[in-house]
Amino acid sequence: MLNKYARAFFTRVLTPFAALLLRLGVSPDAVTLVGTGGVVAGALVFYPLGEFFWGTVVITLFVFSDLIDGNMARQAGRSSRWGAFLDSTLDRVADAAVFGGLALWYAGRGDDLLLCAIAIFCLASGQVVSYTKARGEAIGLPVNVSGLVERAERLVITLVAAGLAGLADFGVPGVGVLLPAALWAVALGSAVTLGQRVVTVRREAAEAAEAEDAAGAAGAGDPGGARTGTGGGPANGAAGSRGGAEGGAA
């Protein structure tokens, strides 16, 4: 939802800054790398110590790099497959650090094994949610679903709650409950999202198989037919879902 509705707003706001960075000779890849480094440092230095306010401030400063790098690449006409790979791969690293940092807190001085387990579940389920899309697209399916809780939601829910929970250090009462509530919400939302995506991929795979069978029946005897996955497609053959794509990118 945020990806759909908030992205346009942030694109407008961040475009002048992205243009400035380009004029200064900064590359999109550098922004991707520095941004991820900042998120990882903020999460793994502050969160395990229970410094939720300052950890969230540092993470928030750097996490917007994920919206700036693509903006820069598009403005410069330099969007690339490598950039897309780097961006998505480092997103996974940043997410792991955020939920890993929280898990470390609960495993240590936070002393709550259940919330430690929930944070680990958020980490793992978020990675799998993203993987469903990447893998589905790699086998040539559109994966035409976003789902309830995408990455932006996972981050916003968790960071807003962690930042507010950190206000307890400044004497604000009653905020301690926010982070556990956010982790439960992200965990449940991610599980629902995973289900939504798996169901979608299953339906799209069945539809693709039916279309291939129909095409195969129509062109019986065609050795290069769609069923063998040699008919071409977006990434490694849209028709390859039954043919060669099972052995594709993992």
Chain residues in the site for Mg ion (CB under 5 A): 66, 69-70, 87, 91
The amino acid at residue 21 is L
CB of 68 to ligand L45E5XJ5, least distance (A): 7
Q: Which is nearer to ligand LH5YIG7M, 26 or 215 (CB)?
A: 26
CA atoms in the 13 A half-sphere facing the CB of 166: 20
Helix pair angle (52-63, 151-165), 10° resolution: 150
Residue 26's CB is within 10 A of a number of other CB atoms, namely: 16
Return the SS3 of 109.
coil
Is residue 178 within 8 A of residue 186, CB to CB? The reply is: no
**CA atoms within a 13 Å half-sphere pointing along the CA-CB vector of 37:** 6
Stretch that binds ligand L45E5XJ5, among 72-80, 124-132, 139-147, 223-231 (CB under 6 A): 72-80
C-beta of 249: minimal distance to ligand LH5YIG7M in Å?
Answer: 13
Longest dimension (CA), the chain: 77
Written as one letter, the residue type at 238 is A
- Interaction with ligand LH5YIG7M in 106-165: which residues (CB under 6 A)? 129-130, 133-134, 150-152, 155-156, 159-160, 163-164
Residues 76-95 that bind ligand LH5YIG7M (CB under 6 A): 87-88, 91
Positions marked active-site: 91
For binding to ligand LH5YIG7M (CB under 6 A), which residues are involved? 2-3, 6-7, 10, 56-57, 60, 63, 66-67, 87-88, 91, 129-130, 133-134, 150-152, 155-156, 159-160, 163-164, 167
